[in-house]
Amino acid sequence: DTAVSQTPKYLVTQMGNDKSIKCEQNLGHDTMYWYKQDSKKFLKIMFSYNNKELIINETVPNRFSPKSPDKAHLNLHINSLELGDSAVYFCASSRLGEGEQFFGPGTRLTVL
Amino acid sequence: KQEVTQIPAALSVPEGENLVLNCSFTDSAIYNLQWFRQDPGKGLTSLLLIQSSQREQTSGRLNASLDKSSGRSTLYIAASQPGDSATYLCAVHPYNNNDMRFGAGTRLTVKP
C-alpha cells in the first residue's frame, strides 16, 4: 500500500554513464515532482509534471530529463553522469491545487 | 524570490520538554505551508499542512501556526519523546506555481 515508491534505493555508477530512476504513485495525484538533496541536506526542486506537461524546470542541466509515461509515473533520466550529480533524489506527488506533497523514500546516487 | 529560513539549525532537549521550531519566509504570497519530518537516510513524512487562509493546524502533540503577514510559522511539539528525534523541514508553496521552497531544516535530538 506504498503511496510513493522509487527504484532503485541505491545506485552506484561510473562517471559518464546514463542511468534512470523510476517513480510511481498510487494516490491518484495529478502532479509529480523530482527533488535533489545535496550533501548539505538542502532540498531543491528539479521538475514537476502535471498531466504530462512540464510545469517547472529549475536551472538543472539538460542531461537530466523527466519522462512521464502516464499520470502515475515520473521517471528521471540522467545522461553523462558527473561527480557532482551524487546526491539523494526524491520523488513526490500532490493533487494540483491542493498542494500537500507526499514523498518517496529517496534514491541515493553515487557517481564514482 | 522566496527564501525560507529555519531557526535553530539544531536543538537538543531532555525528554518531556515542550519545544518550538521556527520557520520564516520572505514572500507572503503563498498557497500553503507544509511541515515535514525526515529521519536519517529516509524520505520525508508530511506532518502538517496549513493553507494560507488558516492560522493553525493540530495533529496529536504537534501544533503548527502560520502568520502570513509577518512571514512566520512555528511548529510546537508538546511533551517531546526520544522518538521525535529527526530533522524537521518547513516548506512554502508559493501562490500560483508549484515551485515549493524548503528551509534547511532543524535537527532535533530528544534525550531520554
CA–CA distance, A80 with A65 (Å, rounded to integer): 12
Which is nearest to B44 in space by CA: B35, B56, B55, B32? Answer: B35
pLDDT at A58 over 80: no
Check: CB of residue B86 under 8 Å from CB of residue B36. Answer: no
Q: What is the pLDDT of residue A42?
A: 85
B28: left (phi over 0), alpha (psi -120 to 50) or beta: alpha
Q: Quick: pLDDT tens for B51-110.
A: 999 999 999 999 999 999 999 999 999 999 999 999 999 999 988 777 789 999 999 999
Which residue on chain A is closest to B93 by alpha carbon?
A99
Q: Residue B42: pLDDT band by 50, 70, 90 thresholds? A: confident
CB contact A56 to B (< 8 Å): yes
CB pairs under 8 A between A and B: 55
User: In the structure grid, which three cell numbers stand for residue A37, read together?
Assistant: 538533496
Q: Where are the alpha helices (H) located in chain B, listed in sequence order? A: none
pLDDT at A97 over 60: no
Q: Residue A20: pLDDT band by 50, 70, 90 thresholds? A: very high
Inter-chain contact B46–A45, Cβ cutoff 8 Å? no
- Residues whose CB is less than 8 angstroms from the CB of residue A22 and which lie 6 or more positions away in sequence, other chains included: A6, A7, A73, A75
